[in-house]
Structure formats: C-alpha cells, structure tokens
Amino acid sequence: NNAVVAEGNGTKVVMTIGSKVAVVNGAEVALDVAPQIVNSRTIVPVGFITGNFGINPTFTYNADGTIADILFTK
C-alpha cells in the first residue's frame, strides 16, 4: 500500500505516493505536488497537511535566503 495517512481532531488526510490527488474527510482535493519516496524517506507537501489541520508555519531564513527553520504552531 502506497498510502500516507494523517489523522487527528476529526480530520483525515489520505495521500498516495505519486498522486496529485489527496482525500480529505472523504473528498478529493488536488495537490500542487505529489508525495514521493526519496532515499527511502516519504516526502509529503507539508503546507497542504498543516493547512488541513489548522497549523501555522513560521519560517526563519539564513542570510543567503534559504530556509533555516520552520516553527509549527496551532
């Protein structure tokens, strides 16, 4: 099974590796990018997941403009 499931507080998000369609509480939703496996690690669109669970990311940046840290708050 290539499903990635995140569930909590009455919300269930199901994504399939390689698919740009997720299912949120039974409804299909388009993804900008498909989840994938890279070097034996599952990579998912964090912004999509955090948005569906009401979690707000706050980014801090390095001097060169790259992301240094991401703090997630609810």
Q: Where are the beta strands (DSSP E) in 10-66?
A: 11-16, 21-24, 27-30, 36-38, 41-43, 56-61
- Grade residue 1 by pLDDT with cuts at 50, 70 and 90: low
- Grade residue 61 by pLDDT with cuts at 50, 70 and 90: very high
When the pLDDT of each residue in the chain is averaged and rounded to a whole number, the result is 93
The reported pTM is: 0.79
Whether residue 20 contacts residue 33, with contact meaning beta carbons closer than 8 Å, is answered with yes
- Taking 70 as the threshold, does the pLDDT of residue 52 lie above it? yes
Which range is least confidently modeled, 30-34, 35-39, 53-57, 62-66? 53-57
